[in-house]
């Protein structure tokens, strides 16, 4: 966003607003904002001279570090009528001088009080009326709904948290405040006027929701972690003493009020734990049906007062009752069927079909409707989450995610499984490290592929006639034992790179086996007849005669290699064809015709060996897939910038969790730390 000119005496940083930053020979930094440029950001109806606030910030992570100088300036216009202004400031530390001189301070923003509501943190996006409304009542919401407003609910996405953190950071810098907790817990209402409104920019959430989120984020008595038995005992005593005065109980325990409240909900003197007895299940079902006026066999997933249910069941808490009902009992009673692998594929396809921009927009009720193996909408949602979690860096991959899962990854114990439409395998064998691979389909006994030291070989294979799986095994022992735990799978159409890297082998990324799956290859590109797919295509190039292949294999019988261990087996890459996916999809009532047509190809193609075609992959997403051997990401082969959003701020909740996990690891059993005491004092001030 900025250009930096450097000469012996001055450095000029130009920004989108053409504010210039210069440095004179004495080390003073001079900011200049010409009048015409300033006008650009004035609102049309601005009458009073705007109160300009210059905010210098670095996009560097370290800008939030205390040790890094942060320059924040408030500047008034030179005169009432002149919109231009000039600021001269002296950098307070040498480091700051250096940074400016080196051009690492890259962001200059001009904020004007009158403009706060017009400038969103994301740029030109209009500020939602929703985010400026406090509304907590149904009437408030109805009113906004009637005006055509829609807003976000549910869990905050990573993007939203980023926006929020960014807004807070900007607010702090603009006012020269170091710590947001000063505003949240120490300032009076009057002093923090506009704080919540300002930081709600770009967030299509009610102000109240933003307020709650911020309070939680910065309350260090939140996220303290697991309750110790001592804490539980103390909690019970405090509960008897103070009743439902959660604030008092929380203060005594060094926990937030909501935390102790939630913990008490889990405690019930009469509660059983562990497996439910038949009697309990029977009672739960009776109570649920009675309270919801439904009949046994009816599907009941909403409108249940679980507190009331638990009261009647007697031996279980409301959470236990809810969990048991939604995850098992209701499904069992209404004649549900077992969840299969096909269901799992179907789930991914259906979510892809929905084409929703945000995971929160998925209507799980609708998705679960008429799906007998789905235990409840809530259960289905958690199923989706389980699938997503199989990808190690799923948190860094923002939704819309379904296309990412179309080359569906499932890492089982011994193989990486890729479910993908028509595919195009493209091997980039490690330089000088020949590898032997085996391409298997259910209609063939296996196609051994030996990749010699030639730079790159592309294998093109298309969907076989019948639904089947294609498995690619990396077989070369010396390769496997040393470096081929690293397998990269690139899928061009969904633009996904799946990469597995062994922890014990992070230095060998250069020699990793690379596999490209092109899912949008036209059948006309591959005129070879299907019968070319035969095992003897490269019979003499099999380097390891001890390898044996079961002639007919299926999912349960992945090829076994008589003299190879599980490390080697793990290197299999399995590709399912679109027919299989379509087939399973068609089993469902509402088979998406557009999906089917998109994934089914007419012709059959055979594998051919070609020279690698130069291929450009834009906007690809990289998923790091954990392996049974504890794969980790290697930074040298992954262009992180193309994958992960550049994040310069950390959600205090997440940060705290990370710190907490370290603390737990080192000092178990100290429920109230000195930190929490400090926070308690802090909050008491509040």
Partner DNA sequence: CGTCGTGGTAAGGGTAATTGTGTCCA
Partner DNA sequence: CTGGACACAATTACCCTTACCACGAC
Considering the rule CB under 7 A, would residue 208 count as an interface residue with DNA?
yes
Q: Whose Cβ is closer to DNA: residue 273's or residue 593's?
A: 273
In the complex, the smallest distance separating the C-beta of residue 190 from DNA, rounded to whole angstroms, is 8
For 522, the token pair is: 């036209």
In the complex, the smallest distance separating the C-beta of residue 676 from DNA, rounded to whole angstroms, is 11
Subset of 239-298 contacting DNA (CB under 7 A):
244-247, 257-259, 261-263, 265-266, 272-276
For 313, the token pair is: 């069941």
In the complex, the smallest distance separating the C-beta of residue 126 from DNA, rounded to whole angstroms, is 19
In the complex, the smallest distance separating the C-beta of residue 307 from DNA, rounded to whole angstroms, is 5
In the complex, the smallest distance separating the C-beta of residue 39 from DNA, rounded to whole angstroms, is 29
Q: Whose Cβ is closer to DNA: residue 92's or residue 145's?
A: 145
Q: Do the Cβ atoms of 417 and 487 come closer than 8 Å?
A: no
Q: Do the Cβ atoms of 473 and 440 come closer than 8 Å?
A: yes
Q: HEC profile for 543-604?
A: CCCCCCCCCCCCCCCCCCCCCCCHHHHCCEEEEECHHHHHHHHHCCCCCCHHHHHHHCCCCC
Binding mask 600-639 for DNA (x = CB under 7 A): ----------------------------x-----------
Q: Do the Cβ atoms of 89 and 73 come closer than 8 Å?
A: yes
The set of residues, in sequence order, having a beta carbon less than 8 Å from that of 238 and lying 6+ positions away, is 248, 249, 252, 253, 260
Judged by CB under 7 A, the residue of 211, 399, 526, 561 near DNA is 211
Q: How many whole angstroms separate alpha carbon 435 and alpha carbon 477?
A: 8
Judged by CB under 7 A, the residue of 222, 460, 511, 633 near DNA is 222
* C-alpha dist (Å) from residue 15 to 20, 51, 286: 7, 20, 68
Judged by CB under 7 A, the residue of 328, 403, 620, 637 near DNA is 328
Subset of 288-307 contacting DNA (CB under 7 A):
302, 304-307
Q: How many whole angstroms separate alpha carbon 312 and alpha carbon 305?
A: 11
Q: How many whole angstroms separate alpha carbon 101 and alpha carbon 7?
A: 9
Q: HEC profile for 614-664?
A: CCCCCCCEEEECCCCCCCCCCCCCCCHHHCCCCCCCCCHHHHHHHHHHHHH
SS3 535: helix
Considering the rule CB under 7 A, would residue 526 count as an interface residue with DNA?
no
Considering the rule CB under 7 A, would residue 323 count as an interface residue with DNA?
yes
Considering the rule CB under 7 A, would residue 142 count as an interface residue with DNA?
no
Considering the rule CB under 7 A, would residue 156 count as an interface residue with DNA?
yes
The set of residues, in sequence order, having a beta carbon less than 8 Å from that of 442 and lying 6+ positions away, is 464, 466, 468, 469, 552, 553, 554
- Which one, of 252, 262, 172, lies nearest residue 218 by Cα? 172
In the complex, the smallest distance separating the C-beta of residue 156 from DNA, rounded to whole angstroms, is 4
Judged by CB under 7 A, the residue of 53, 205, 350, 495 near DNA is 205
In the complex, the smallest distance separating the C-beta of residue 331 from DNA, rounded to whole angstroms, is 9
In the complex, the smallest distance separating the C-beta of residue 231 from DNA, rounded to whole angstroms, is 9
Judged by CB under 7 A, the residue of 173, 283, 324, 576 near DNA is 324
In terms of DSSP H, where are the helices of 107-178? 138-146, 158-175
Considering the rule CB under 7 A, would residue 136 count as an interface residue with DNA?
yes
Q: How many whole angstroms separate alpha carbon 122 and alpha carbon 136?
A: 26
Considering the rule CB under 7 A, would residue 227 count as an interface residue with DNA?
yes
Subset of 385-444 contacting DNA (CB under 7 A):
385, 389, 395, 412-413
Longest dimension (CA), the chain: 89
Q: Do the Cβ atoms of 93 and 69 come closer than 8 Å?
A: yes
In the complex, the smallest distance separating the C-beta of residue 480 from DNA, rounded to whole angstroms, is 18
- Which one, of 49, 94, 54, 47, lies nearest residue 72 by Cα? 54
Binding-site size for DNA (CB under 7 A) equals 74
In the complex, the smallest distance separating the C-beta of residue 487 from DNA, rounded to whole angstroms, is 17
Considering the rule CB under 7 A, would residue 189 count as an interface residue with DNA?
yes
Q: Whose Cβ is closer to DNA: residue 301's or residue 523's?
A: 301
Subset of 646-665 contacting DNA (CB under 7 A):
653, 660
Q: Whose Cβ is closer to DNA: residue 32's or residue 212's?
A: 212
Across the strands, what pairs with 459?
A: 425, 609
609 burial via Cβ count (<10 Å: 0-12, 13-18, 19+): middle
SS3 55: strand
How many of the other CB atoms lie within 10 Å of CB of 257? Answer: 17
In the complex, the smallest distance separating the C-beta of residue 394 from DNA, rounded to whole angstroms, is 8
Of 28-36, 118-126, 204-212, 542-550, the window that binds DNA (rule: CB under 7 A) is 204-212
Of 77-85, 92-100, 108-116, 153-161, the window that binds DNA (rule: CB under 7 A) is 153-161
Subset of 331-390 contacting DNA (CB under 7 A):
339, 364, 378, 381-382, 385, 389
Binding mask 563-602 for DNA (x = CB under 7 A): ----------------------------------------
Q: Whose Cβ is closer to DNA: residue 414's or residue 525's?
A: 414
Q: Whose Cβ is closer to DNA: residue 400's or residue 628's?
A: 628
In the complex, the smallest distance separating the C-beta of residue 228 from DNA, rounded to whole angstroms, is 9
Judged by CB under 7 A, the residue of 22, 87, 114, 141 near DNA is 141
In the complex, the smallest distance separating the C-beta of residue 414 from DNA, rounded to whole angstroms, is 7
Q: Whose Cβ is closer to DNA: residue 388's or residue 543's?
A: 388
* C-alpha dist (Å) from residue 14 to 54, 94, 108, 135, 572: 14, 22, 9, 41, 52
- Rounded to 10°, the helix 246-253/257-266 angle is 100
Per the listing, tokens 């990412």 go with: 404
In the complex, the smallest distance separating the C-beta of residue 249 from DNA, rounded to whole angstroms, is 9
Q: Whose Cβ is closer to DNA: residue 77's or residue 254's?
A: 254
Judged by CB under 7 A, the residue of 134, 403, 525, 600 near DNA is 134
Full strand arrangement of the beta sheet holding 608-610 = 608-610, 457-460, 424-428, 513-517, 487-491, 496-500, 621-624
Judged by CB under 7 A, the residue of 225, 434, 467, 626 near DNA is 225
């Amino acid at each position: 966003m900025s250009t930096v000119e450097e000469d012996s005496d001055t450095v000029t940083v130009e920004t989108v607003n053409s504010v210039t930053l210069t440095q004179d020979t004495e080390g003073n930094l001079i900011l200049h904002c010409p009048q015409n440029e300033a006008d650009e950001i004035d609102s049309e109806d601005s009458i009073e001279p705007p109160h300009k606030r210059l905010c210098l910030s670095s996009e560097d992570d370290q800008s939030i570090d205390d040790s890094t100088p942060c320059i924040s300036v408030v500047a008034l216009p030179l005169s009432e009528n002149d919109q231009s202004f000039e600021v001269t400031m002296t950098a307070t530390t040498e480091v700051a001088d250096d940074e400016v001189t080196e051009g690492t301070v890259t962001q200059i923003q001009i904020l004007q009080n009158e403009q706060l509501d017009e400038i969103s943190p994301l740029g030109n996006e209009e500020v939602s009326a929703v985010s400026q409304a406090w509304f907590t009542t149904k009437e408030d919401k109805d009113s906004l709904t009637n005006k055509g407003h829609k807003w976000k609910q549910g869990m905050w996405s990573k993007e939203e948290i980023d926006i929020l953190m960014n807004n807070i950071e900007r607010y702090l810098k603009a006012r020269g405040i170091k710590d947001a907790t000063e505003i949240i817990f120490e300032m009076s209402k009057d002093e923090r006027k506009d704080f919540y409104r300002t930081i709600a920019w770009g967030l299509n959430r009610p102000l109240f929701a933003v307020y709650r989120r911020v309070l939680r984020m910065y309350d260090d008595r939140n996220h303290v972690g697991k309750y110790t038995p001592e804490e539980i005992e103390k909690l019970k005593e405090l509960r008897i003493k103070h009743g439902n005065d959660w604030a008092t109980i929380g203060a005594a325990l060094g926990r937030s009020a909501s935390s102790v409240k939630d913990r008490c909900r889990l405690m019930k003197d009469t509660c059983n734990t562990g497996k439910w007895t038949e009697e309990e299940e029977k009672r739960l079902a009776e109570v649920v049906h009675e309270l919801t006026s439904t009949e046994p066999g009816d599907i009941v997933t909403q409108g249940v007062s679980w507190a009331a249910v638990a009261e009647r069941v007697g031996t279980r808490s409301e959470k236990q009752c809810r969990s048991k009902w939604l995850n098992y009992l209701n499904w069992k009673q209404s004649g549900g069927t077992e969840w299969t692998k096909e269901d799992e594929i179907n789930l991914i396809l259906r979510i892809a079909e929905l084409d929703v921009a945000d995971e929160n927009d998925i209507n799980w009720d609708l998705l679960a409707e008429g799906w007998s193996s789905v235990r409840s909408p809530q259960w289905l949602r958690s199923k989706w989450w389980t699938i997503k979690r199989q990808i190690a860096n799923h948190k860094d991959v923002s939704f819309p995610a379904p296309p990412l899962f179309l080359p569906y990854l499932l890492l089982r114990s011994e193989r990486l499984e890729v479910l993908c439409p028509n595919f195009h395998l493209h091997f980039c064998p490690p330089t000088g490290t020949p590898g032997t691979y085996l391409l298997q389909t259910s209609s063939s006994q296996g196609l051994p592929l030996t990749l010699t030291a030639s730079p790159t070989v592309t294998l093109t294979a298309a969907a076989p006639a019948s639904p089947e799986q294609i498995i690619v095994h990396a077989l070369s022992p010396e390769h496997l034992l040393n470096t081929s735990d690293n397998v990269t799978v690139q899928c061009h159409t969904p633009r996904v790179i799946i990469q597995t890297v062994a922890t014990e082998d992070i230095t060998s990324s250069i020699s990793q086996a690379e596999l490209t799956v092109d899912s949008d290859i036209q059948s006309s590109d591959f005129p070879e007849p299907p019968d070319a797919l035969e095992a003897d295509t490269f019979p003499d190039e099999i380097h390891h005669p001890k390898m044996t292949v079961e002639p007919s294999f299926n999912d349960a019988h992945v090829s076994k290699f008589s003299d190879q261990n599980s490390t080697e087996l793990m290197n299999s890459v399995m590709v399912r064809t679109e027919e299989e996916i379509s087939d399973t999809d068609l089993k469902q009532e509402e088979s998406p015709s557009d999906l089917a047509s998109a994934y089914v190809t007419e012709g059959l193609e055979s594998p051919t060996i070609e020279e690698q075609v130069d291929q450009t992959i834009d906007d690809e997403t990289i998923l790091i897939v954990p392996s049974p051997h504890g794969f980790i990401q290697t930074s040298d082969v992954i262009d992180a910038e193309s994958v992960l959003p550049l994040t310069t701020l950390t959600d205090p909740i997440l940060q705290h969790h990370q710190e907490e996990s370290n603390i737990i690891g080192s000092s178990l059993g100290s429920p109230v730390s000195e930190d929490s005491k400090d926070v308690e004092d802090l909050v008491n001030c509040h």
